[in-house]
């Protein structure tokens, strides 16, 4: 599998929720990209860079075709998020849009560093601590929606493991 994408957010780009939903569906085995080289999503303000999305999905389609599809990453009924293990262990958060504010990267990175050993089976933070995490907003910070989605996925996984 490819590493999780880190698309640049641009003034006019592809709708982020549409792109994220398609990528997650592919990794869950619910969508197929075979034979597709151009992808058409709704163009919105502050969306993902269109060239980056098309290039990533093109590589994903080629890989998907070469491997004959992807196995689902988790049982959909298990309650464990279907985010790939690499995405949980080594997240890459895009920066907030130009002139926008996002979460303080130093504080987010510090929490992610504390989460990594837990995801590897060690001790550290609990699901409650992850859910209660809050960060100040700063210029050039991490995209709030992406960080929140990551923390939610981590909390669900830790709760499913009884932590």
In the predicted structure, residue 72 carries a pLDDT above the cut 80? no
pLDDT tens per residue across span 3-20: 667 888 889 999 998 988
Taken in order 14, 95, 133, 151, the sign of the CA dihedral is positive
pLDDT tens per residue across span 89-145: 556 666 766 667 888 888 888 888 888 777 777 777 888 888 899 899 888 888 888
Please tell me the predicted confidence (pLDDT) of residue 97.
67
pLDDT tens per residue across span 28-61: 777 777 666 667 789 999 999 888 888 888 777 7
Please tell me the predicted confidence (pLDDT) of residue 79.
44
Comparing 128 with 83, the larger pLDDT belongs to: 128
Domain limits of the chain?
9-67, 85-160
For 5-88, strand residue ranges (E) read 9-14, 43-48
For 73-162, strand residue ranges (E) read 101-103, 137-139
> Would you place residue 65 in the very low, low, confident or very high pLDDT band (cuts 50, 70, 90)?
low
Nearest to 153 by CA among 73, 90, 72, 88: 88
Nearest to 155 by CA among 83, 47, 53: 83
Place of tokens 């988790």: 74
In the predicted structure, residue 74 carries a pLDDT above the cut 60? no
């Amino acid at each position: 599998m490819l590493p999780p994408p880190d698309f640049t957010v641009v003034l006019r780009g592809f709708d982020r929720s549409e792109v994220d939903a398609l990528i997650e569906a592919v990794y869950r085995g619910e969508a197929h990209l075979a034979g597709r080289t151009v992808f058409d999503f709704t163009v919105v303000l502050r969306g993902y860079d269109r060239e980056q999305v098309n290039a990533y999905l093109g590589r994903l389609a080629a890989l998907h075709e070469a491997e004959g599809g992807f196995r689902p990453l988790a049982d959909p009924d298990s309650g464990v998020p279907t985010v790939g293990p690499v995405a949980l262990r080594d997240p890459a958060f895009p920066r907030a849009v130009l002139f926008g504010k996002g979460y303080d990267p130093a504080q987010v990175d510090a929490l992610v560093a504390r989460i990594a050993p837990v995801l590897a089976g060690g001790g550290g933070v609990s699901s409650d601590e992850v859910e209660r995490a809050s960060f100040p907003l700063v210029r050039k910070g991490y995209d709030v929606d992406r960080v929140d989605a990551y923390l939610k996925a981590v909390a669900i996984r830790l709760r499913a493991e009884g932590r």
